[in-house]
Structure 1
Amino acid sequence: MSEFDNVTVTREANVYFDGKVTSRKVTFADGSYKTLGIMMPGDYTFGTEKAELMEIMAGKLSYCLKGDSQWHDIQAGESFNVPAESSFDIKIIELVDYCCTYLD
């Protein structure tokens, strides 16, 4: 899906890591939400409250989930899941455009 219909977009950006990662919240009529963002090359660690589906629209990265010692390489058109109450390390190889869906 390249478009979302009937949504509210929060105007203010979420800004992390000195501006190297940004996102905007998109809220759907049913109250569910996603974030759309950009990550610049670098190494980052993110914590999660809810389970997440990270869809990569453009770019290349490697990620490692908390408790896992294996790094996984992915690129545009691929995705990965992150469990709730967890964290993941991410190495952005080239600028990443992403969509994060928060799962119940």
Structure 2
Amino acid sequence: MISNNAYFNDNVKSLGYTTTEGNSTLGVMNPGEYEFATSKHETMRVIEGQMVVKLPNATDWATFNAGEAYEIDANEKFQVKVSSQTSYLCTYK
């Protein structure tokens, strides 16, 4: 089954799905600033565009471009800024 998810007044949308490797979401973010919270370990891979991210316990922002990924542990919050529509693949463990 495919789930349809929308967050931040429809500025972030994703499709959720399950494979033999686990749960994932494939989504798009409109330009803006967002704060996300995790319930599981997440690996976020930028497919197209760029994310500027402030990871948990970090003091500086890090930039992730298309093809790059970052990880966030379960039960953490992180901030994301995008300046143009950006697509991503998020896998959960």
TM over 0.5: yes
Q: Does 1:91 align with 2:76?
A: no
Once the two structures are superposed, residues 55-84 of structure 1 have per-residue CA deviations (whole angstroms, 9 ceiling, x without a partner) of 010001200112211100111111100111
**Any gaps of 5 or more consecutive residues in structure 1?**
1-7
Kept in 2: contact 1:61–1:73 (CA 8 A):
yes
Structure 1 Cα separation of the partners of residues 87 and 51 of structure 2: 11
Aligned residue runs from structure 1 range 1-104, under 5 A: 8=1, 10=2, 12-29=3-20, 32-103=22-93
- Of structures 1 and 2, the one scoring higher in RCO (CA 8 A, sep 6+) is 2
TM, length-normalised to structure 2: 0.93
- AA at the equivalent of 1:26: Y
Counting aligned pairs with the same residue, the percent is 33
- AA at the equivalent of 2:37: G
CA RMSD of aligned residues (A): 1.2
TM-fit CA distance, 1:93: 1.8
TM, length-normalised to structure 1: 0.84
- AA at the equivalent of 2:6: V
TM-fit CA distance, 1:90: 0.3
TM-fit CA distance, 1:25: 0.7
State the match for 1:5 in structure 2: none
**Any gaps of 5 or more consecutive residues in structure 2?**
none
The structure number with the bigger radius of gyration is 1
- AA at the equivalent of 2:14: S
